[in-house]
Amino acid sequence: MPRAILCILDSFGIGGAPDAADYGDEGANTLGHIAANYQISLPNLDALGLGAAARLSTGEVPRGLSEVPQGGRFGVGREVSKGKDTPSGHWEIAGVPVPFDWGYFPQTEPTFPPDLIAHLIERSGIPGILGDRHASGTTITAELGEESIRTGKPICYTSIDSVFQIAAHETHFGLERLYHLCETAFELTAPLRIGRVIARPFVGENASNFKRTGNRRDFAIPPPEPTLLDRANTAGRQVYALGKISDIYAGHGVTHKMKATGNMALFDRTLEAMEMAADGAFIMVNFVDFDQEYGHRRDIPGYAQALETFDARIPELISRLRPDDLVIFTADHGNDPSWRGSDHTREQVPILAFSPTLGPGTIGIRPTFADIGESIARWLGLAPGKHGKSFL
């Protein structure tokens, strides 16, 4: 029975979204601008059709890539959900476009409603909060981390996405205490349609060595209807959720949850999951470092080098595919490291599908990310969902 592996390169957009101007992102192009500023080499992704997909998306082939794929199916995914955040992209990839508008916090300072913070303080017993503004997580942790340790006040911040984030020291504040605090915040923000509350634990003793850990936890609003994960689970299939995947779907449909810190550790866990997965299994992994470590930090060389490191390991994964296995490489949104600000960018994404039994060709520009989920459903022999159409 066929298996499917879905690899999401978090934030790896390829430009060209027709509604990018509505989000202030007209001209954003994560891959294109990385390639324009760094002599990038991605021979394996390119052989699967990355350069050809980029040309399909924007009309141009990024420097260092070609437009002649050597195997598999290639194409472009276009998001229909409103937003450019993680839940929207992931839910739609799994066959469920977001049918409502997310709630967002204003770009004012302070940012959060006073009654929300007052209730959070009262219910959790914390002495107060720090931050209360839009910020980059690493920047605000470096700025306020020492004060947080000294006062016992967690750092609360947000971004242009529908998110409430809380950073606190793993030992001085306490990891479990941070999780409980985020659970309380999630209850308080849910009526505002805030998509996620994220626990951002860090370690270190001063601004020079603060580092966020792999114990991040997302408390997320569940999808409004069954996703591909639920459908596979209901059919009795194994569903492996690697990285932050389980959190994004509020644990729904997941049978095996696997965590790791860093892209390469996640790649290792993906290979482990492939060794363990039974016939008919679905493996889904999010490679978060592209977004978290390089996109948001506007680090072009770091993003490029992370892509090259990832690309070099693709042959390992392909060599472990069974004859009827399918692997798809895609993304959930963009995060152009050359763009203004530090937030996601509204872009189209590559869809690169490969199987030893799948002939080469183009799948064109897909009108919704949901086509990815429906293609996997068809490959696995699952009943079709309500949104999207298979390209396989």
Amino acid identity at 159:
S
**In the chain, where are the structural domains located?**
4-99+224-380, 114-220
**130 backbone dihedrals φ, ψ, rounded to 5°:** -115, 160
Does the domain made of 4-99+224-380 have the CATH classification 3.40.720.10? yes
Kindly give, in sequence order, each residue whose CB lies less than 8 Å from that of residue 195, ignoring residues fewer than 6 positions away: 85, 86, 87, 88, 102, 103, 161, 162, 163, 220, 221
* pLDDT reading at 168 higher than 90: yes
* pLDDT reading at 263 higher than 90: yes
Calculate mean pLDDT across residues 123-132: 97
* pLDDT reading at 160 higher than 80: no
What distance in Å separates the CA atoms of residue 53 and residue 292, rounded to the nearest whole number? Answer: 24
Confidence of residue 71 (pLDDT cuts 50, 70, 90): confident
- Tokens of residue 118, six digits: 């007052």
* pLDDT reading at 140 higher than 80: yes
* pLDDT reading at 148 higher than 90: yes
Confidence of residue 99 (pLDDT cuts 50, 70, 90): confident
Kindly give, in sequence order, each residue whose CB lies less than 8 Å from that of residue 41, ignoring residues fewer than 6 positions away: 64, 308, 311
Q: Considering only CA atoms, give the Rg of the chain.
A: 20
**319 backbone dihedrals φ, ψ, rounded to 5°:** -65, -20
Q: Give the predicted TM-score (pTM) of the model.
A: 0.89
Confidence of residue 179 (pLDDT cuts 50, 70, 90): very high
Nearest to 232 by CA among 385, 86, 57: 385
Percent of the chain with pLDDT over 70: 100
Asked whether this chain's domains 4-99+224-380 and 114-220 adopt the same fold, the reply is no
**DSSP assigned state of 18:** T
Pick the more confident residue, 314 or 359.
314
CATH topology of domain 114-220: Alpha-Beta Plaits (3.30.70)
The structure tokens 């989920």 sit at 373
Nearest to 154 by CA among 173, 133, 134: 173
